[in-house]
Amino acid sequence: MKINKIGVGIVGLGTVGTGLIEIIQKNKNLYKSKYNIDFSINGISAKNKKKKRNINIKSYRWFNDPMKMIEQSNIDIIVELIGGSDGLALRLALESLKNGKYFITANKALIAKHAVKMSEVSAQYNNKFSFEAAVGGGIPIIRLLHNSLIVGKIKNIYGILNGTCNYILTRMREDRLQFSKALKQAQKLGFAEANPKDDISGTDTAYKLAILSNIAFGINTRASEIYVEGISKVEEIDIKMAQRLGYRIVLLGIANLKNYQVMQRVHPCLVSNNSMIAKVDNELNTIIIEDQESDKVMVIGKGAGKNPTAASVMADIININDENKKRFFVSKDKKIKNIISQDISKREGRFYIRMGVDDKPGVLADITLFFKKQKISIKSMFQLDNKIKNIVPLIFVTHKIEENKISLVLKKMKSIKKIKTKIILLRIEEL
């Protein structure tokens, strides 16, 4: 059988880029024998040619201007691993598609913002692009959505989509670490960047949720439209109380389809210890897809890192002829409205509320009376002994209530002088 020669151009030689080169080098003969494909790296590019790397790249042609790769007849695939939603990444994507180059990326920001535009260009020029590694690292969730979950209408998506946050929350729970110490540990082990802002703020999760939602529901939502809360407000006391109540705290990306409207949100949640999602620890990611036909499908795997992400990129390269790469959406239901997802006021559920109050007689009675007047039904209440500077932590768990009602109540509570700390609100999700 004839061997198909395919040339690859790699833009970005960080952790994933060097990992991809290692995979191609290591498995070149395997791909020949198994797939009848002879992959060769015919171009590389990065910001700094002189930077020390853990692999030898001297044998590969270097491009100071990665856009020049598109002009090369011996490069069939452009792999973009530089990051960023605009600028060079976007130019590489659009020009590659216009000029007959198959485009592959692990860039979640690019896909979250421009996938629809890229899909239109790829259709116009009968070309393909792939982005499996943009969501879930080594979890083949995009392939699963396109190939397996198309029988029934998807109703819900739940996901632990950021390994950094999951690692931090795991260590806070198991090692009794404060947030700052758990973050430093994550950075030391390479699970968190030197600047972890996008991770801990929930922005990274929002990018990934936007991609999954857009594919699954056939909408066009940007990450900036999604309601987002990060994990920095979660303290050791919340981790302990969650355990006491039979819950774990995780950062979830959630998308729900109801009445032809999609609600998307990212925030820390209390989930039952008995739920499968509560078993996902450390840097692992998980995604639950629920549709009308197959009930729930749950996938778990490493969400980041050199090996799983590079392997996911390589899978896209191997599957160059997959016709699903020509489309972005799984389905396009015209009845589905792309709502402004920042408005989650219609969400109904239970809430965990924490505040610090004066350690004085009658304060607890005053707070509970306030809740009663606002018609907030309290399921359980705790007054903790570990007071600091004469301030006592109070924790309340509500019965089901609409988000807009609890928001109004918390606004009114800010005027109560006996409350001495910021009021912390965490949502309880029944999965």
Catalytic positions: 208
The whole-angstrom separation of Cα 308 and Cα 303 is 7
Q: Mind spelling out the 3-state secondary structure of 361-393?
A: CCHHHHHHHHHHHCCCCEEEEEECCCCECCEEE
CA-nearest of 7, 105, 108 to 63 is 7
Report how far apart, in Å, the C-alpha atoms of 183 and of each of 88, 121, 128, 158, 313 are. 31, 41, 39, 24, 28
The whole-angstrom separation of Cα 205 and Cα 68 is 33
Cα torsion angle, 314, 319, 325, 326, sign:
positive
Residues 6+ apart with CB under 8 A from 120: none
The whole-angstrom separation of Cα 239 and Cα 245 is 10
Cβ-contact 102, 129 below 8 angstroms: yes
In our burial notation (b when 16+ CB lie closer than 10 A, e otherwise), range 224-242 reads ebbbbbbbbebeeebbebb
CA-nearest of 31, 30, 37, 8 to 21 is 8
CA-nearest of 347, 287, 11 to 156 is 287
